[in-house]
Structures are given as structure tokens and as C-alpha cells.
Amino acid sequence: MTWEIIFVLALLVFAIVNFVMEKLPVDVTAIVVFSVLMLVSMLTKSEHLPDLNTLVGVFANPAPLTIAAMFIISMALEKVGAIDLLADALSRLTKLPMWLFMLVMILSVAFISAFMNNTPVVVVFLPVMIGLARKMKTPASKLLIPLSYASIFGGVCTLMGTSTNILMSGILTQHGMKPLGMFELTSVGLPLLFVATAFLVVFGNRLLPVRETLTAILSEEERREFITEAFVRPKSELIGQNFNGSALKRARGLKLLEIIRDGVALGGNIRDALLEEGDRLVLSCRPSSLATAQATGEVDFVHEQGLDLEQIAAHQGAIVEGVIGPMSSITGRTIREINFRQRYRMIIIAVHRHGRNVRERLETLPLDFGDTLLMMGTDQAIENLRSSDDIILLDRPPVSAKNLSKWLPLVITLVIAMVAAVSFISLPIVAGSIAVMAVILVIGIVKPKEAYAAVEWRILMLIYGMLALGAALETSGATQYGTDQIVGLAGSVPEHIRPFVMLAVLYLITSIFTEFLSNNATVVLMAPVALSIAAALGVDARPFAVAVCVAASASFATPIGYQTNTYVYSVGGYRFSDFARVGIPLNLLYFVISVLVIPLFWKFH
């Protein structure tokens, strides 16, 4: 084993550990790997490490560009109401038996996920499913895991269904092989879809847990929090004081939400702002902090507290749940850093993350993608938050400020034309997707600024970093070394069944990796291994490439392997083990069916 192999394998271990432990964001880890490879290659000038041109050449791979275009096309489909149409149709089916509703929901979500990015599908459907669960008087936890899994089922069926398939197609092209066809994977994807759907319909209700949403952690008193408005009287002792230094601060359970001066809400840290005559204060408080409570619900705490304020109005505060969105600008920053209370005019009561509710030291908690927030504020503040991409409210589906439904037929026609061109005239998907994206931008369905925001750049950076690492694994001989070890395990297996055995081994290894790494990182790392195994056995590489595609997408056993699983994890109040209980049997089904079906449609010889 050469020092180059040891070095590249050490980089691989570094990347895997960081992906699992999340000490660094995945995109930062990929950038670190890329930079270390570039520096070591330039300094050592080793022939067994990719040179600068090879490393920079990963940016010429068409797959990430295709994925970026698909993000924008998916946004267009979302904006013109393609997902909303399906959601509306499902909302009319709540009187169906649970098993029949589950069947229709899974097949519907899988269909639309086959032609657009999974994440926006799940993002739009989350509040829909929560609302439908209330109507059906069933826990939302019975529907959210199937929602995520359904998006995965559909993504496996087509080339454009998931970035995993697009990446594998790009890698095959770079190795001089034919790219994947638009519906090439349908031969294995459809049997998997039908069997997995049947499993969830028959056994899902028994295996899926009953979990409470974040609101359930509130006590009865906390649920009856009030929003109270008051203003500073003339000659008040409060004039010239800030909130922290006033008698208001000493009132138990009283929180300052806003200071409105001359009709304008003050910015900055309002708790340090000096109060002036006529300032209107928006406060929240629990019933226990109120001196008296009137039967009408209006509360007069002013005179009882000895504060020189005059009561304006009081009403019950609205409590809502929201989830940090995939395009959120506040991820990685603490509640204090973003001045959450002033930015959104809301207060955070609790955060749900990784199966547990967090209520202590919220101010210093860095927010992350998929965190569910329990918030309270005025009706106006909640309505203002609905237009934000940072937090997606779960009380009802978002309503677009601009109705673009008139463009729905055109966008659907463009997508159908792209699918047909890729399928029947062999147009490269990168050309088709960019052409559709161009039309969408020219018409103005998606504005350029929105398009840039729609692209998940951290995923692209992850892909580029992993492509560089994949090149290093091949050039250094690490891929061949690993292949020799894997093939060596099958040395005693009869030669005529050796390809089947190696297909099963490759699928299992990929399946394990994808439960802890991202699907994109897994496919980039395992694709060269698949091609190398096929070369070592002297058989066609196509079956092995397809196996990696399916296994890398089929992440069911953990909430961290696939983005949509992470998204429903906190929202549904799930525990880590909930995914294993439902996902491991699904993983086994996918494994058995894939190993049996793939050799039927993609021959080894």
C-alpha cells in the first residue's frame, strides 16, 4: 500500500467522520477535502494523485449543473401550483379509510417526485398532511414518515427524480459509457414502488408511532398566554428607562415583544431602548402573571402591578409551529445573533431537534435545517412570517402572494417536452434542463434572484468535493485496492454466480453508507467502486451502476441519510428509532427486490 493510498483513505475517513458527527457542515467538509487534495498534489507532484487540471476538471461535470437547473425547474412547478393541485385533491379524500388514503397519498407524492426535486414536494405537503391528520383525527406522525418515503420511492423511478441518478449518469458519461435514460430505472423503480407502498399500507399503521407535536409540551397555563398592549402615560416614571431596568422586567412571566413609537416598530434590541411618552408596548404574559382576569378575556394588569401604563387591549396570543426551511438564511446562527424577537416580532417557546424538545438556553442555540420552532406572537407577526423562506409555518399551507397558476399548462408542457426529448431523441438532460430553465427565467415565472436562492449550493459544493475525492481514490489506486479486497471475499464463490453475489455485496455496502452519509456523497464514492468491480469480474458495469443508484437513494432506516427524512424528523416529534422500526424492513425489501430484478433487465454479459 503506497503513501498516496493511505493519504486518500485518511481523507475519506475524515470526510465520513465529519459527515456523521456534523462537527463541520457537509459542504465545508467537502471544500476542505478539495483544498487539501489540491495542495498536496501540487506540492508533491505525485503521479498517483490527480493533478490540478484533473481536480479543477470536476467543475466541468454536467451533473451538478443539471441538478442546479432541476432545483429551479422544481421551484417553477411549485410556484405555478403543480403541487397545490395534488394537495387540494388529497384534502377531499379525508373520509376514506386510513389504508386507502395512505395508498392514494403515497402513489400521488411518488408520481410528482419522479419529475421534480423531492425537498420542495415534502416542504409543501408538510402543513397539508398536518392539517389532514387533524381532520382525520389521527396523529400526524402516522403520515409524515410515509410522506418522506413516498418522495424517495418516486425519485428512484426516473433519471430526473433525484440528484443521485443524475450524478451516476454523469459519472458513467465521464467513463465513456452511455448515460442513464430518462426511464431506464423505471424497470426496477416501479416494482420497488409497488411493493414498498403495499408494505406501508398493510403494516404502516402498526409500525408507525403515535408521537405528539411540539405544542404538546406546553402546560395548560402556557397554552393560554396573552398578548397585551399598553402605552406609556405622560409624566410616567417609565420615561427614560429601558425594559430591563423597569418594573416591567420584574413582573413574573412578562415578555416584551414590540415597542411601537409614532406608529413604527422600533428595531434593534428593544429591551435596551429608552422608553418615551406615548410608546405603545406589546407584551406577552401568562394568566398567573396577571393581577386580575376579566370574564371577557380582556385583562387589566396595569394598576395592580403599580405600573404607570394605560391598558389598550389584550387578547390570547397565537402559538404556531414552524420549521427551518431548506433555503433559510438563519441556519448556523443563534437566536440571539439573528435577534429573532425583533426580526420576526415573535418569541420562541421551544425547539424540537433530533427527537428531543429543547427549552433551556434557547438564546445560545444555533438553529439548523429541519429544526421545529414553537413560537408565539400577534396575528400580524404570524402573517408577516408566512412570506419568509427562513421558517415554514405548519398551521396551514403557504399561499403565494402572486397567483402564477396561469403558467401551469406552459410549465407542465415544458417539462413533458424535456422528458420526451431526453427519452426519444437522446438530448442530454443537461441541455434539456437548461433550456427549460432559460424559458422559465425569460417569462419571469422565476426571477433570477429567486433562481439563485432555489439552488442548494451546499449540495453542489458537496458534490464537487466528493467528485474530487472520487478522482483521487481512482488515481491513487485506493479504489482498485478496495475492489480487490471486496472481490477477494467472493473468491470461493462459484464463478457463474459471482456477479450476483458481488451485486448484493455492493448494494449492502452502499445502503449502509447512505444511511449516515448523504445520498450524493454515497453515489460519488461508490460509483468508481461499482465500475471497478465490474472490470475485475469481466462483466458489464451497468447492473452495478443501477444497484448503486437504487441503494444510495433508498435511505429509510435513519433520519439523517436523506434530506426529506431529516425534514419530517423534528416536525413529527419522532425518535431516531422510529425510522429504524419502519425503515429497516423497507431496506430489506429494496435489497431483495433489487438484487432479483436488476439482473433481469441489465444483463452481466
- Residue 561, phi then psi, degrees to nearest 5: -80, -25
Look at residue 180 and tell me if it is in a domain.
Answer: no
In a domain, 274, yes or no: yes
Nearest CA to 285 among 264, 261, 311, 265? 311
pLDDT interval class at 299 (50, 70, 90): very low
- Is there a contact between 236 and 302 (Cβ–Cβ < 8 Å)? no
**Average pLDDT value for the chain:** 84
Lowest mean pLDDT of 24-33, 244-253, 261-270, 370-379, name the range.
Answer: 244-253
In order of 25, 133, 136, 277, 339, the CA distances from 509 in angstroms are 24, 37, 40, 69, 45
DSSP states of 257-276 as a string? EEEEETTEE--S-GGGSPP-
* Beta strands in 182-254, from DSSP E residues, in sequence order: 226-232
Confirm whether 255 is domain-assigned: yes
Confidence of residue 399 (pLDDT cuts 50, 70, 90): low
pLDDT higher at 545 or 458: 545
> Which tens digits make up the pLDDT trace of 443-469?
999 999 889 988 888 889 999 999 999
User: How far is 120 from 564, CA to CA, in rounded Å?
Assistant: 9
Coil/strand/helix, residue 288: helix
In a domain, 302, yes or no: yes
Of the listed ranges 156-165, 319-328, 536-545, the one predicted with least confidence? 319-328
Please answer whether residues 96 and 104 qualify as being in contact, where contact means their C-beta atoms are separated by less than 8 angstroms. yes
Query: CA 275 → CA 171, 242, 340, 347, distances in Å?
Result: 63, 6, 21, 21
Among the listed ranges 13-27, 363-377, 429-443, which one has the minimum average pLDDT value? 363-377
Taking a C-beta distance cutoff of 8 angstroms, is the pair 517, 581 a contact? no
Does residue 54 form part of some domain? no
Q: Indicate the number of domains in the chain.
A: 1
Backbone angles phi, psi at 20, to 5 degrees: -75, -45
Instruction: Report if residue 267 sits inside a domain.
Output: yes
- The string of pLDDT tens digits covering residues 185-197 is 999 999 999 999 9
Where is 298: in which H helix or E strand?
A: none
> CA–CA separation, 544 vs 598, rounded Å?
9
Q: Which of 241, 271, 242 is nearest to 336 (CA)?
A: 271
397: which DSSP letter? -
Q: Which of 382, 456, 441, 567 has the alpha carbon at shortest distance from 79? A: 441
The alpha carbon of residue 161 and the mean position of all alpha carbons in its chain are separated, in whole angstroms, by 15
Read off the pLDDT of residues 468-511 as tens digits, 9 standing for 90 and up.
999 999 999 999 888 888 888 777 778 888 999 999 999 999 99
Is the residue at 74 inside a domain?
no
> Strands across the sheet with 264-265, in order?
264-265, 255-261, 280-285, 226-232, 309-316
490 close to 502: Cβ distance less than 8 angstroms: yes
Residues 545, 168 contacting (CB under 8 angstroms): yes
pLDDT at 402 over 70: no
> Which residues lie across from 112 on neighbouring strands?
none
Q: Which of 120-134, 349-363, 501-515 has the highest mean pLDDT?
A: 501-515
Q: 139 in helix, strand or coil?
A: coil
Domain enclosing residue 301, as ranges: 226-316
Position 225 pLDDT exceeds 50: yes
Identify residue 102 by its one-letter amino acid code: M
Residue 154: half-sphere exposure toward Cβ, Cα within 13 Å: 25
- Domain membership of residue 218 (yes or no) is no
Q: What is the DSSP string of 423-488?
A: HHS---HHHHHHHHHHHHHHHTSS-HHHHHHHS-HHHHHHHHHHHHHHHHHHHHTHHHHHHHHHHH
Of 169, 145, 65, 156, the C-alpha closest to 114 is 156
156 three-class SS: coil
How many C-beta neighbours within 10 Å does residue 505 have? 17
Cα 227 off chain centre by: 33
Cβ atoms of 277 and 233 closer than 8 Å? yes
CATH of the domain at 287: 3.30.70.1450
- What's the mean pLDDT in 328-350? 80
